[in-house]
């Protein structure tokens, strides 16, 4: 597994045991997105007709996304932590109570932080959770890095929704691929890019789903919010964390189950 220090030559902030790098560019968005998956997934982006196309693939879908990438560790208002370091502190605990990740390969001690928290508060949070060291990537909602990081989370959204529809321990998902067409500019990347997933995101899951076929709730057109933008719902609920689960969806889902293809 690569280290952040091997990928970024800039001098970090923070301390020797908790170095912190800031992710502020598209290139750093790719590093942030792949690091948040414990480097168990690959992220690519291209430009076409003035829009950004972000593709993500992983052969360890559940571990890479729900085990690592899910931003379920809250530091303070508006700041969330994702990345493989979550597995050490089991945050949020219900993920690790619900899912059996089996034999987990050695993952890097990396935390990916989104929000306005100070380096000092981030390091204090790590120490308070018994951690003795970690590499930390920090970005904020307005950063250019979010144009890669947010669309790269389409697989995570699908599997998080699927976890509430069926027992993921009873299925075998061998590969997942996503493709999201995103704007190159939006007033609020955290909001506009979630809409890119909802309205221009396609995820493909490959595996053995043990007869499960009720994938429809994950697709945007079946949601009660299909005709509303993310910003509209968030304005009513106050923040992303309070948004209804069905707001997080994708435009198209392809399931290849034991070689048989179904499209939703």
Q: Residue 160's closest CA among 243, 239, 77?
A: 243
Per the structure, the count of domains in the chain is 1
Q: Whole-angstrom Cα distance, residue 59 to residue 207?
A: 10
Instruction: Look up the pTM and report it.
Output: 0.94
Bond from prior residue into 94 cis (ω within 30 degrees of 0)? no
CATH of the domain at 107: 3.30.1030.10
Residue 140's domain comprises: 4-263
State the SS3 of 37-51: CCCCEEEEEEEECCE
122's CB contacts (< 8 A; 6+ apart) are 14, 18, 20, 75, 111, 113, 136, 138
Backbone angles phi, psi at 86, to 5 degrees: -55, -35
Local confidence pLDDT in tens for the 264 residues of the chain: 788 988 888 899 999 999 999 999 999 999 999 999 999 999 999 999 889 999 999 999 999 999 999 998 998 767 999 999 999 999 999 999 999 998 899 999 999 999 989 999 999 999 999 999 999 999 998 899 999 999 999 999 999 999 999 999 999 999 999 999 999 888 777 788 999 999 999 999 999 999 999 999 999 999 888 998 888 888 888 777 788 999 999 999 999 999 999 999
């Amino acid at each position: 597994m690569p280290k952040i220090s091997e990928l970024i030559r800039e001098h970090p902030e923070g301390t020797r045991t908790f170095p912190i790098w800031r992710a502020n560019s598209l290139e750093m968005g790719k590093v942030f997105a792949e690091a948040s998956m414990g480097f168990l997934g690959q992220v690519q982006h291209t430009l076409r007709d003035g829009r950004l196309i972000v593709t993500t693939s992983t052969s360890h879908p559940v571990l890479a996304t729900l085990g690592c990438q899910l931003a379920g560790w809250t530091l303070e208002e508006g700041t969330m932590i994702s990345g493989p370091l979550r597995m050490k502190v089991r945050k949020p605990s219900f993920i690790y109570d619900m899912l059996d990740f089996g034999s987990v390969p050695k993952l890097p001690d990396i935390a990916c932080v989104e929000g306005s928290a100070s380096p000092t508060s981030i390091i204090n949070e790590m120490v308070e959770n018994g951690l003795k060291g970690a590499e930390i990537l920090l970005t904020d909602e307005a950063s250019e890095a979010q144009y890669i990081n947010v669309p790269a989370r389409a697989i995570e959204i699908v599997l998080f929704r699927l976890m509430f529809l069926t027992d993921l321990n009873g299925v075998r998902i061998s590969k997942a691929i996503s493709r999201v067409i995103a704007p190159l500019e939006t007033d609020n990347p955290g909001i506009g890019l979630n809409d890119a997933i909802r309205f221009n995101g396609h995820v493909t899951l490959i595996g053995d789903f043990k007869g499960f076929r009720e994938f429809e709730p994950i697709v945007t057109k079946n949601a009660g919010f299909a005709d509303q933008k993310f910003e509209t719902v968030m304005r009513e609920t106050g923040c992303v964390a309070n948004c209804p689960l069905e707001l997080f969806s994708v435009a198209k889902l392809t399931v290849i189950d034991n070689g048989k293809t179904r499209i939703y």
